[in-house]
Amino acid sequence: MNKYSIITTIAIIVIVTPFLFSAMNIVGSQQLEYRWHSPGIFSFFTMLNHGEIEFCNTLPFWITFEKFEVSVFYTGTYLGSYTVKQLTLDPSSSGIQEGVFSSQSIEEAQHIFMNFDFEFDSGDVRLDPNQFVVGVNTETPILGIIPYSSTTQISAFEFDQIMNAEDLTCD
């Protein structure tokens, strides 16, 4: 192998590596599993008072995400967001990260969250659960500078079931 072939090979590796790392983070953030840090005890009211989420990297390589955000809406009205900052997970492992809930109307969010926690725990239906929606957004910048986010919109009941999951792939 001559020196030009070696230099070209090294240059290709140096150029491709950041793109490969970014692609792995994007795929990893879409395959990410999560639940409340203590299985089976999640409630929207406890999320409102902050708390921790356990994340599970199901893939055989490291992943990093910049921000994980859960936005909550009722009848199209934004109630607030639970946000977790940057986290790096080892291959096929889990990690627990503290999150913070913020809202412009904390009293309204408390009232609605307590009602739905009661409903989801087999209580009387007082508010329409079909109007209670959760958006899960994961931000993973490409090359550290180009914004990329993956957003999933699910029902609050489905989100409640995800957060109360007993088992993750990493267990």
Calculate mean pLDDT across residues 153-171: 88
Domain boundaries, the chain: 3-163
- What are the tokens at 164? 């109360």
Under the banding of pLDDT at 50, 70 and 90, the label for residue 1 is low
- What are the tokens at 73? 């809406």
Q: What is the pLDDT of residue 74?
A: 92
Q: What is the DSSP string of 10-74?
A: HHHHHHHHHHHHHHHHHHHHHH-EEEESSTT---HHHHHT-EEEEEE--SSS-EEESEEEEEEEE
| 146 vs 144, more confident | 146
Separation CA 96–CA 81 (nearest Å): 18
Calculate mean pLDDT across residues 100-107: 91
pLDDT digits (tens, 9 = 90+) for 33-88: 899 998 888 889 999 888 899 999 988 988 888 999 999 999 989 999 999 999 89
Q: Under CATH, what is the fold of the domain 3-163? A: Immunoglobulin-like (2.60.40)
Greatest mean pLDDT among 28-32, 126-130, 135-139, 164-168 lies in: 135-139
Separation CA 161–CA 169 (nearest Å): 16
Give the residue among 73, 54, 16, 91 at the shortest CA–CA distance from 167.
54
| Cβ count within 10 A of residue 53 | 21
